[in-house]
Structure 1
Amino acid sequence: MTIVAGVDIGNSTTEVCLARCAHGRPAEFLASGITKTTGIKGTVANLPGILTALGAALRTAGLETADLGEIRINEATPVIGDLAMETITETIITESTMIGHNPSTPGGIGLGVGVTQPFDRLGVIGRGEKVICVIPQGIDYEDAAREINGAVARGVDVQGAVARQDDAVLIANRLTRKVPVIDEVTLIDKVPLGMQAAVEVAEQGQSVRTLSNPYGIATVFGLAADETKLVVPIARALIGNRSAVVVRTPQGDVKARSIPAGVVTVSGIRGKADIDVDAGAARIMEVVERVQPVEDVKGEAGTNVGGMLERVRQVMADLTGQAPGEMKIQDVLGVDTFIPQKVRGGLAGEFALENAVALAAMVKTNRLPMTQIADQLAAKLGTGVVIAGVEAYMAVGGAMTTPGTAKPLAILDMGGGSTDAAIVTRDDKISAIHLAGAGDMVTMLINSELGLGDPDLAENIKKYPLAKVESLFHMRLEDGTVRFFAESLPPEVFARVVILAEGGLTPIPGDYPLDKIRYVRREAKKKVFVANALRALARVAPTGNIRHIDFVVLVGGSALDFEIADMVTDALAEYGIVCGRGNIRGTEGPRNAVATGLVLSYLNGGEA
């Protein structure tokens, strides 16, 4: 009897299956181990994680390292996900052209149009002049309201006000003439004076209509068609805001420039094709599918996409000790997304959502890095280490230990960096595919689209459901149900959207409503997991037709997600496919499929 350890090095986790094996007899499974993968998958930096997971499994089984007869590791293909570009077209606003940071409590309602004038000049402004009053730091709200009321009484047409302090409601409540008032403008000193401006405040629960519409801005300021084109990014940045100010600056202060996204060149067995990233992710993926299997992907030099793909090659070259020219990208997944871009020249941290394309790239290295891992692991433990096989092949063997399964069978292994699919026929023929894009890309999309700047927070948003804390004793879950508490909740979560994480409630910063966060999370999962599931199964289906697959078992860490498996199952139900989460060895759920398959490959003479 030999103690065999199967070690699956994944992008997110490293998993171990420990079993007592003898040829001609079923494996006696002893224990499992799991830990976070150290370093980028497929590099020698994985060793600490392997040793940790292996040590945990040995302790559970009551064994020592010396008891190990053989360690079998998978052929790990590194996958690096990155944004191919910051934006497809970046529009830069110079000088002070707009304010629209959506303060929580603006005052008044309506649209006011006039010339920006400083607060201290209200007393000398002539009768009938249309004015937007700019109230600086340090002016008391009662003094501000008194001066505005006095100007109105003298015949000055005060159309609205912009304030530095959080006083909009207090000022508006004291005005004899109700006008829109916006506060919390951080850079009040940079508001251009003597310029035509428009101030708009919407009813509670609504958003501005005129200033979020480029034609509305054009109407207010009398813009020509060419000038209207320049205000499009301003209007887009104000969509969804309850309040906004737009200031028309002198000609030449508003400039726009486009940064080229670049051209992607995809080379494959069926040919070679160029596609401009401006065309979007759908066109990129059409080209990838047309020329697949992909042999390499390159980006145009001097462009955003070219820089991203070369950075991926360089990172892998540095980690593996190979020349960058030897790094081949064997698959990419493109997804259309949005990125909040700071509007330069804004006065209160304004952002505009810009179109972008996210790319996950799979780098194909030679066998050298895995050989290095095997050699160093063997030297450390004094045990034979074998590079046993491709992940998807091994995952089939592990998935077959799920109760109720039989050949023919397809598996979807959804991990952190890649989505693998394989199908085994009744006569044990296996075909497999290894595609870029999985959980890490979903996290990246959530992080970028919500502008979080915190990958750990984005990861938790991906993994757990949401709720809105409506009082210190109850919250409304994202499915609409209400949960009550006998003891009061922490005050810092009151009126906040929170993540229902295992360790407690995690408040999400910012003002995004629950429905918006949920929508971004679910769309990111659909764009990556559902799209890749259909793409992968079409590649391995015997005739290229998904409808000819009867059973699919979902394995991998992402299959544990509270909604991904249901999304994929729903998508495959349209094709008449029976699909569900695996339960490896009847005990492990969808995890440990590859590690278990590696152990079984020992009994099968190296084949899953």
Structure 2
Amino acid sequence: MTLWAGVDIGNATTEVVLCRDRDVVTSARTPTRGGKGSLRAVAGAAQLVRRLADKHGLTVDRAAFAPTPPVHSTVERVQLEVPRTGRLTIVTRAAATTAGDAVGAGAPVSVERLDTVEPGRPVIACAGPEHGYAEVAGWVNAAVGAGRDVAAVLTANDEAVLVSNRLVTALPVVDDVDIERVLAAQLVAVEVREGVSPLQRLTDPFWLADTFGLGDDERADARVVADQLFDSVCAVVALDETAGRLESAPPPELPSGPAHIVYLADIAAQANSRRGSVTADSLVMAAMGAAGGAPADADALADALGVPVTRIESEADAARAGALTTPGIPAGVVVVDVGGGTVDVVAADGRAVLPGAGQLLTVATATALDISISAAEYAKRAEAVTAVTVQLVEDEHGRRRFLDAPIDGRCTGWLLTAAPSGLLPFTSALSGAEWRSWRLAAKRLVIGGNVTRGVQQVASGATGVLLVGGGAGDDELVRALTEQLGRDVTVGRGNVAGGLGHRFAVAYGLVVLAAGGDHPRTAHP
């Protein structure tokens, strides 16, 4: 019996299966070296075949290969223009600490000049980083005792509670504020709410218009500010006469060719994310790039292996042939290969290659959470846990467990994801439930949207979708696609040859096609 080697060199990984005719003997995979289509990648694949054969005491007789150039997809983030708010400016919508439970509005005045303010004129006391909490509280108390109308206190230092505890009158206090920016304004409004109560006044566009004396043509600006402050428990809004004269940013340049564009605001809206908890003023996009020169052919692999290599013309045909060996699949199922750069949708009589897959999801995650690409790569994959203490974590289902070894105390309150080095902290801005909601929404829009378009292009009436490739290992992606495609479409994962799982569809499909004898072109060493 002939011992075949099916060799699939992908953009990220290379898969190899060894088969006696069509019976699988063994399989393995390794990272692709030198890039898909390169001679170095072919040499690496040949090395993997030889190592796998030697390990099992086998001798490879023939190989099957589909020389395919890499599909390049560029992925990038584009910053969108922030909605215009005219003369109104949100100075801050979050602070390290706050104190008080009230709202106040007035002209900004430095704390050392409070004694110069005429009585009855509402003012906001502003303390720069050079002023300590005791000094700030002393000036404010003296001003209030002299009849000055101090409506709120802003400080640049992280000392809101320390200042508040020393005030004779309860006032809203916010820290970590850009005091120079506040002092440049004509009027400032400050609101702080304790407990779980959200803002009440600064989220009311009518209150904003009245307090800041806005004209009818500025009511839309107040509406934008109010919308941005929903879900906040403290905020500082200023009236700046120069803000309305800022130049508008030019619209982003979008690709003219095939592209997948996802607005982060759409993900945040679908996840019902709290305003300000994730970045929403950007888009991410993936576009097809030039494929480069001709790939290394079957002759190169034949020389590297020293055995005849049958050249299969279509990698897509191989993927479908391998995927269709999955037990229990219905007739007419559409095969979807989810990779890093592209989503390949293959039906019986059509194929679509769409940019935007795993890499685009990584960039969307990194941008939304303002974290590194490497951290986002791990965070996007699966559920996270919240560090309750240095040795106690809680998962997204509310279950708690103790860790074998304590984590760094600075990670308490952070979300942690599994990484090769252990638990990796990646954000403290979201709860576990919020992160789960955003992550699932991102998978629906980034990858689910692409798969839906591909299925509509090649088989609009399909009732079954079979996932293969690296992305098929994501349990949440199966759920996301099920939700995206609807209840009339059955979504499942490939189990190539009834036991290889979802990754080896192309490698095994090459053997299926080559052993069938329909591809006579063979390269000899």
Global fold match (TM > 0.5):
yes
Answer yes or no: is 1:152 the counterpart of 2:71: no
User: What corresponds to 2:322 in structure 1?
Assistant: 398
Contact 2:449 2:484 in 1 (8 A): no
Distance 2:247 2:228 in 1: 15
Structure 1 residues 383 and 213: CA distance shift in structure 2, 3 A? farther
User: What corresponds to 2:265 in structure 1?
Assistant: 338
Contact 2:389 2:409 in 1 (8 A): no
Of residues 66-75 and 406-415 in structure 1, the stretch that sits farther from structure 2 once superposed is 66-75
Q: Higher relative CO (CA 8 A, sep ≥ 6), structure 1 or 2?
A: 2
User: What corresponds to 1:166 in structure 2?
Assistant: 158
User: What corresponds to 2:17 in structure 1?
Assistant: 17
Distance 2:358 2:479 in 1: 15
Structure 1 residues 193 and 176: CA distance shift in structure 2, 3 A? farther
The match for 1:560 among 452, 457, 473 is 473
Answer yes or no: is 1:31 the counterpart of 2:23: no
Residue pairs, 1:439-588, within 5 angstroms: 439-452=358-371, 454-485=372-403, 488-501=406-419, 503-541=421-459, 544-546=460-462, 549=463, 551-571=464-484, 574-575=487-488, 577-588=489-500
Per-residue deviation, residues 128-172 of structure 1 (Å, max 9, x unmatched): 221111111132212211221111011001111111111001111
Structure 1 residues 173 and 376: CA distance shift in structure 2, 3 A? farther
Supply the AA of the counterpart residue of 2:263. Answer: D
Residue pairs, 1:177-192, within 5 angstroms: 177-185=169-177, 187-192=178-183
Distance 1:596 1:60 in 2: 15
Structure 1 residue 14 displacement after superposition: 2.7
Structure 1 residues 218 and 554: CA distance shift in structure 2, 3 A? same
Per-residue deviation, residues 475-505 of structure 1 (Å, max 9, x unmatched): 2211232224465444233121111446422
Residue pairs, 1:73-112, within 5 angstroms: 73-76=66-69, 78-83=71-76, 85-87=78-80, 89-90=81-82, 97-112=89-104
Structure 1 residue 526 displacement after superposition: 0.6
Structure 1 residue 364 displacement after superposition: 6.7
Contact 2:278 2:368 in 1 (8 A): no
User: What corresponds to 1:435 in structure 2?
Assistant: 354
Structure 1 residue 597 displacement after superposition: 0.7
Contact 1:35 1:49 in 2 (8 A): no
Distance 2:278 2:85 in 1: 11
Contact 1:474 1:483 in 2 (8 A): yes
Supply the AA of the counterpart residue of 2:27. Answer: S
The match for 1:200 among 191, 194, 201 is 191
User: What corresponds to 1:286 in structure 2?
Assistant: none
User: What corresponds to 2:507 in structure 1?
Assistant: 595
Unpaired runs of at least 5, structure 1: 21-25, 262-303, 310-328, 341-349, 425-429
Distance 2:201 2:217 in 1: 19
Distance 1:407 1:74 in 2: 29
Structure 1 residues 96 and 210: CA distance shift in structure 2, 3 A? closer
Per-residue deviation, residues 502-557 of structure 1 (Å, max 9, x unmatched): 6422112342333332222111111133333333333333xx323xx3x4432111
Distance 1:53 1:169 in 2: 63
Answer yes or no: is 1:130 the counterpart of 2:122: yes
Contact 1:97 1:254 in 2 (8 A): no
Structure 1 residues 477 and 217: CA distance shift in structure 2, 3 A? same
Distance 2:503 2:513 in 1: 17
- Determine helix, strand or coil for the equivalent of 1:515: helix
Answer yes or no: is 1:416 the counterpart of 2:332: no
Structure 1 residues 456 and 39: CA distance shift in structure 2, 3 A? farther
User: What corresponds to 2:241 in structure 1?
Assistant: 250
Distance 1:193 1:578 in 2: 60
Supply the AA of the counterpart residue of 2:73. Answer: I
User: What corresponds to 1:115 in structure 2?
Assistant: 107
Distance 2:191 2:27 in 1: 61
User: What corresponds to 1:225 in structure 2?
Assistant: 216
- Determine helix, strand or coil for the equivalent of 1:191: helix
Distance 1:384 1:212 in 2: 72
What is the percentage of aligned positions where both structures have the same residue? Answer: 29
Structure 1 residues 49 and 241: CA distance shift in structure 2, 3 A? farther
Residue pairs, 1:256-271, within 5 angstroms: 256-261=247-252
Q: What is the count of residue pairs matched by the alignment? A: 511
- Determine helix, strand or coil for the equivalent of 2:168: coil
Distance 2:41 2:226 in 1: 49
Structure 1 residues 102 and 8: CA distance shift in structure 2, 3 A? same
Structure 1 residues 172 and 422: CA distance shift in structure 2, 3 A? same
Contact 2:159 2:175 in 1 (8 A): yes
Structure 1 residues 74 and 492: CA distance shift in structure 2, 3 A? farther
Distance 2:34 2:223 in 1: 43
Distance 2:67 2:375 in 1: 31
- Determine helix, strand or coil for the equivalent of 2:259: strand
Contact 1:400 1:406 in 2 (8 A): no
What's the TM-score, normalizing by structure 1? 0.74
Supply the AA of the counterpart residue of 2:9. Answer: I
Contact 1:134 1:163 in 2 (8 A): yes
Supply the AA of the counterpart residue of 1:398. Answer: G
- Determine helix, strand or coil for the equivalent of 1:463: coil
Contact 2:99 2:194 in 1 (8 A): no
Distance 1:369 1:232 in 2: 56
Supply the AA of the counterpart residue of 1:244. Answer: A
Structure 1 residue 72 displacement after superposition: 0.5
Per-residue deviation, residues 170-196 of structure 1 (Å, max 9, x unmatched): 1112212111111122x4344325721
Distance 1:358 1:607 in 2: 41
Structure 1 residues 247 and 532: CA distance shift in structure 2, 3 A? closer
Distance 1:48 1:493 in 2: 42
Distance 2:333 2:277 in 1: 48
Distance 1:36 1:231 in 2: 54
